[in-house]
Each structure stands twice: as C-alpha cells, then as structure tokens.
Amino acid sequence: MVGLLPLTLTAATVRRRGKRLLGPLDLTLDQGGLTVIIGPNGSGKTTLLRVMHGIERLSSGTAQWSLPPAEARQQQAYVFQSPTMLRRSVLQNLRYPLDLLGHPRAEASARAADWADRIGLGQALDRPATRLSGGERQKLALARALIREPQVLFLDEPCANLDGRATRDIETLLLAVRATGTRIVMATHDMGQARRLADDGVFLRGGMVHDSNRAPSFFDAPKTPELASFLKGDIVE
Ligand SMILES: Nc1ncnc2c1ncn2[C@@H]1O[C@H](COP(=O)(O)OP(=O)(O)OP(=O)(O)O)[C@@H](O)[C@H]1O
Ligand SMILES: [Mg+2]
C-alpha cells in the first residue's frame, strides 16, 4: 500500500467571519501510533481534526499528505462526535462503505458480520441502528469507519457520554487497530483515556498548539504551566 503519511501542516490557518479559529499552525503527523488532542472547549480540536481530514477549508497555509488529496481522502476515516446512523439495520450500516466502493455483496456481508461480532452486535444484525444505545451506536460508527481499513483514523471524542464499560470496549478496539499499523488521531476530554492511549499529545489553546510531546512526558512533565493546570483539572482559558 502506498503510504499516506506524513501529513504536514504549514502555517495552517482557519478564519471565519473575521475571527481566527485555528493557527497559524505547523504540525507534522508521522507514521504510527496514536495522537491525542486535548484542550479547553473552543480551543480548536474539532477544527484541527477537520483540517487534517480535509473537510475544513483553510484560509491560508497548507495541509499536505504524501498522496494527492483525492487519494489521500479515500484512505482516511473520520468519526464524528455524534455519528449519524442510517435508518437501516446494523448489518446494512456496517456494509454501506463497502457497498459504496463496489465490493461484492457476499464479501461485504461477511465482513460486516465479522465486525458486528467484534463490537458485540453479532446477535443484532437485523436491529434498526437508530434503536441502539449510545454506546452501541458509537461502536457501530467506529466499526463502520474501520471496515474500509483506513490508514488513518480521526476520532472526535469517541467516548463522550459513554459509561466505563462502553469506553473500555472502544479503547480495546482502538488498541487492536493501532497494533495493525493504523494511525489514530483523537480529540478527547477524558484525561484518563488520554493517558491510557496516547503515544503523543497535542495541547491546543486559543487555536494554537500550546504544548506537545511524546507520552508519558506530555503528561508527567508538561513543558508549560497551562498544560500542567489543564491536566490537573483546573480551568484554563
Ligand atoms: N463555522 C464556524 N464559524 C464560526 N465559528 C466557528 C465555526 N466552527 C467553529 N467555530 C468556533 O471555533 C472555535 C473552535 O471550535 P472547535 O469546535 O474546533 O473547538 P473544540 O476544541 O473542538 O471545542 P469542544 O471541546 O467544545 O468540542 C470555537 O470558538 C467555535 O465557536
Ligand atoms: Mg470539538
């Protein structure tokens, strides 16, 4: 497979209605591992994820993959904070990305059933996805993103509002996926989760990268007092 990474952001800036939401920001996303993006509400986490995935227009600067944009996009997946489910069955939701890519029906069904097993919905293939619980839905959204075997996976708060068990199931899945070489970039407000999963961390503040480092130094020896405060749970503007 042709490599998609690194992704290089150069002076990437997003402005809307005269307000600067992000940047100018320089950031390189290298091969392998899981990057956690943290920061206060409104600090630009979602905007940064969207810029990386290419669904947020830059006002200036560039975001460049090692492949042309259209090819690069095909090899990435993005899971929104509140994923929308098709008003169809669990099985149909899972196989939908493969159907779009023109995979043979039997193969798409087999892979979808396999993913349903992996997320504990193997007995619920025919259940309408809109009737699933929040945790089940989030797992379904993740599986639907992963069924295409993307090289890079973006996640925006994948465990917001989930209980400990659903969170653990999702983290287990993410670790398994990372082990196969999938690059993961995840925004989270859950500092426990950030520590459990991160290979490296990025701390955003006011649309800028305020601090970043490899784990565990990112958490144990923050370079800035603001990150130290944020990790302690203090209010950081
Ligand atoms: N289309 C838009 N037009 C104007 N402002 C926007 C737009 N999208 C986002 N913003 C603003 O940009 C800033 C960054 O938003 P963003 O959603 O990236 O933050 P975040 O770190 O993901 O926050 P949260 O933790 O609440 O999810 C916020 O002040 C937000 O109100
Ligand atoms: Mg957000």
Structural domains of the chain ordered from first start: 7-85+137-231 (3.40.50.300), 86-131 (no CATH)
Taking 90 as the threshold, does the pLDDT of residue 83 lie above it? Answer: no
Of ligand 1's listed atoms, the one at least distance from the Cα of 187 is 22
* Predicted local distance difference test score (pLDDT) of residue 218: 98
Does residue 188 line the site of ligand 1, with CB under 6 A? no
Contact 29, 76 (CB under 8 A): no
- For 207-231, the pLDDT digits (tens) are 999 999 999 999 999 999 999 999 9
The number of C-alpha atoms within 13 Å of 20 and in the hemisphere containing its C-beta is 12
Residue 153 has pLDDT above 70, yes or no: yes
Quick one: pLDDT at residue 69?
A: 86
Closest atom, ligand 1, to C-alpha of 81 = 27
Report the C-alpha dihedral over residues 230, 163, 127, 96, rounded to 10 degrees. Answer: 20
**pTM of the predicted structure, to 2 decimals:** 0.95
pLDDT range class, residue 111, cuts 50, 70, 90: very high
Share of the chain above pLDDT 70, in %: 99
**Mean per-residue pLDDT for 182-189?**
97
The closest residue, in CA terms, to atom 1 on ligand 1 is: 16
What would the mean pLDDT of 95-102 be, rounded to a whole number? 94
Cis amide leading into 216 (omega within 30): yes
Average pLDDT of the residues in 50-68: 96
Question: Residue 50 pLDDT more than 90?
Answer: yes
Ligand 1 pocket test: pick from 14, 25, 43 the residue with the most ligand atoms within 8 Å of its Cβ. 43
Which pLDDT score, from 0 to 100, does residue 84 have?
87
Pocket of ligand 1, candidates 14, 15, 16, 21: which has the most ligand atoms within 8 Å of its Cβ, to mutate?
21
111 Cβ neighbours under 8 A, 6+ residues apart: 94, 95, 98, 103, 147
| Ligand closest in space to the Cα of 57 | 1
Q: Indicate whether 3 pLDDT > 90.
A: no
Model confidence at 105: pLDDT above 70: yes
The pLDDT of residue 179 is above 70: yes
What pLDDT does residue 168 have?
Answer: 94
Residues in the chain: 237
- Secondary structure of the chain: what % helix, strand, coil (to 5)? 40, 25, 35
Q: What is the pLDDT of residue 26?
A: 97
- Which tokens is 134 given? 């929040």
- What is the pLDDT averaged over residues 13-27? 96
Atom 24 of ligand 1, nearest CA residue = 41
Task: Return mean pLDDT, the chain.
Answer: 95
Note the pLDDT of residue 1: 59
Atom 13 of ligand 1 has which residue's CA nearest to it? Answer: 42
